[in-house]
């Protein structure tokens, strides 16, 4: 609930990656899903449903200096290249005065695509590098896990 009408904005966010607080971040977005499909028998109405596999992914845009730090971390924790790195955690915090901080946790992130570099005359942001990543564990949306651990309560 906003206080005096103020919602979260970019200034209220903090993003922690494997190299520390990402001061050179321009954008971060993440999502998850678990498809649901209707199961039919006799008649035209669904009689049950089934669930597909859970998946989560994200993107982030970093300025070149922050990108170089992330690349160096990935190379040092993997097979000597960017894509063979060990999975890392990204923590996104939202803090507004007079409200509790909200923390989203993206565990076991693996880079899957890197785009950027180049530019043309007149561009004022030629150094932005965009990364796509797969999140291998369910997202923790604040205090709410996207999925449980899969165990059944007995």
Q: Would you state the torsion angle of the CA atoms of residues 141, 32, 15, 24, taken in this order, to the nearest 10 degrees?
A: -160
Question: 30-57 pLDDT, tens per residue?
Answer: 999 999 999 999 999 999 999 999 999 9
Quick: pLDDT tens for 122-138. Answer: 877 778 999 999 999 99
d(CA 42, CA 125): 59
Evaluate whether 131 touches 111 at the Cβ level (below 8 Å): yes
Please tell me the pTM assigned to this model: 0.87
For the chain, which residues make up each domain, given as ranges?
10-32+49-143
Q: What pLDDT, on the 0 to 100 scale, is given for residue 127?
A: 84
Separation between Cα atoms, residue 153 and residue 96, nearest integer Å: 37
Degrees, nearest 5: CA angle 10-139-66: 45
Residue 108, judged by CB atoms within 10 A of its CB (0-12, 13-18, 19+), counts as: middle
Residue with tokens 């300025």: 63
Fold classification of 10-32+49-143 is Pnp Oxidase; Chain A (2.30.110)
Q: What is the pLDDT of residues 9-26, one digit of tens each?
A: 888 899 999 999 999 999
């Amino acid at each position: 609930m906003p206080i005096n009408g103020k919602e979260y904005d970019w200034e209220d966010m903090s993003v922690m990656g494997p190299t520390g607080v990402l001061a050179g971040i321009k954008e971060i977005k993440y999502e998850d899903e678990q498809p649901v499909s209707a199961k039919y028998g006799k008649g035209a109405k669904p009689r049950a449903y089934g669930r597909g596999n859970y998946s989560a992914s994200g993107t982030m845009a970093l300025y070149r200096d922050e990108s170089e730090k992330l690349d160096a971390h990935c190379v040092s924790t993997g097979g000597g290249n960017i894509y063979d790195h060990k999975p890392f955690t990204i923590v996104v915090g939202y803090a507004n005065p007079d409200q509790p901080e909200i923390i989203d946790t993206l565990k076991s992130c693996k880079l899957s695509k890197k785009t950027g570099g180049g530019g043309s005359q007149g561009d004022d942001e030629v150094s932005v590098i965009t990364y796509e990543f797969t999140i291998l564990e369910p997202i923790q949306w604040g205090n709410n896990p996207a999925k449980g651990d899969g165990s059944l309560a007995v």
